[in-house]
Amino acid sequence: MLVIKDLQASIEDKQILKGINLTVKPGEVHAIMGPNGSGKSTLSAVLTGNPAYTVTGGSVEFYGKDLLALSPEDRAHEGLFLSFQYPVEIPGVSMVNFMRTALNEKRKYYGQEPLSAADFLKLMREKRSIVQLDNKLASRAVNEGFSGGEKKRNEIFQMAMLEPRLSILDETDSGLDIDALRIVASGVNTLKSKDNATIVITHYQRLLDYIKPDFVHVLYKGRIVMSAGPELALELEEKGYDWIKEQVDSQQ
């Protein structure tokens, strides 16, 4: 579904991604790990079309379409979802209004009629239960005054509502206590199917205990320098990144 070839990107003339290659197929879970500043969040930002970043080379195909040519909203309609590391607070815009607009824009994209108010509320209720998101939160403004854990659960709730084909979870585990982590992870697992895929960006093995990856990639200095099975995550947890850094730096 996703084919990234030699992707390069910069922010304010600083080159961050220096040639990423990655292929994701339906049903797969990929974990991307790596030390701070290696470009993990940049990758998710570039894939979702954050205007702050400039793509300087390479290509990304999503179900055969040139992803980089699409607007962020059309990428979402095509089935790409990003769970933000730092979800944005939007005072004055209620979760209900936000979600209804998002859902109906997608339906419009596919030439469908807007969802009726009753059907929409039913869907909200159903999906909210997946991440045990309180009804009170759903009636508040988007992320406003939410705790760290509530914000992350809200991200997964939105994912459940939008039913993406590819979800990128950017450090979804940061700022979560064990209980919240379990709820979020089980939410992600509930939504998993043979037709969708997940990219999990994380620092820690911890999340991968709950969301089992098929592949683990190490990102360092803007490139994927190592790819292996889930056992790599355990090795990294034990040994840290230094041995990989040394290996890569000595090759340069």
Partner 1 sequence: MNALKQYIDLYDEHRDLIEQQSPALLNTLRRSAREHLEGARLPRKGSEDYEATDLEAVFAHDYGVNVNRLPFEADPGETFHCDVPNLSTCLYYSSNDAFHSSPTAERNIGQVVVEPFSMAAVDYPELMNAYYGSQARLSDPTVALNTLLVQDGLFIYVPDGVVAERPLQLVNIFNAALDMMVQRRVLIVVGKNAAIKLLVCDHTQSPDYHYLNNQVVEIVAMQGATVDYYDMEESTPLTRRVSSIYVDQHEGSNVLIDGITLINGFTRNNYHVEVNGEHAETHLLGMTIASGEQHVDSRTFISHNAPRCNSNEMFKYVLNDHAVGAFAGKILVQPDCPRVEAYQGNRNLCGAPTAKMYTKPQLEIYTDDVMCSHGSAVGQLDEEALFYMRTRGIGIDEARRLLMQAFVADVIDGVRLDALKDRLHYLVEKRFAGTLSNCACCSQACRPAK
By CB under 8 A, name the binding residues for partner 1: 48-52, 71-73, 75-77, 81-82, 84, 87-93, 97-98, 101-103, 105-106, 109, 141, 158, 162
Name the residue nearer to partner 1 (CB basis): 84 or 215: 84
Nearer to partner 1, 87 or 175 (CB): 87
Q: Measured from the CB atom, is 103 or 176 closer to partner 1?
A: 103
Output the smallest distance, CB 143 to partner 1, in A: 9
**Contact present, 31 and 208 (Cβ < 8 Å):** yes
Shortest distance (Å) from residue 163 CB to partner 1: 11
The alpha carbon dihedral of 219, 223, 85, 98 has a sign of negative
End-to-end CA distance of the chain, in Å?
Answer: 32
A 10 A CB-CB count for 164 gives 23
- Residue 64 CA to residue 45 CA, distance in Å, equals 20
Per-position b or e across 124-138, b if 16+ CB within 10 A of its CB? beebbebbebeeebb
Minimum CB distance to partner 1 smaller for 23 or for 97: 97
CB of 93 to partner 1, least distance (A): 5
Q: Give the nearer residue to partner 1 in terms of CB position, either 196 or 205.
A: 196
CB of 83 to partner 1, least distance (A): 10
Q: How far is the CB of 250 from partner 1 (least distance, A)?
A: 39
Instruction: Return the number of the residue (99 or 225) whose C-beta is nearest partner 1.
Output: 99
Please return the burial class of 200, using the count of CB atoms within 10 Å of its CB with bins 0-12, 13-18 and 19+.
buried
The amino acid occupying position 75 is R
Nearer Cβ to partner 1, position 97 or 247? 97
Least distance to partner 1 from the beta carbon of 226, Å? Answer: 29
Structure tokens at 235: 């090795």
Backbone torsions φ then ψ of 48, nearest 5 degrees: -90, -5
* Residue 57 and residue 46 in contact, taking contact as beta carbons nearer than 8 Å: no
184 φψ region: left (φ > 0), alpha (ψ -120 to 50), beta (else): alpha
Closest contact distance (angstroms) between CB of 111 and partner 1 is 15
Residues 118-124: contacts with CB under 8 Å, at least 24 apart: 123/161, 124/96, 124/99, 124/161
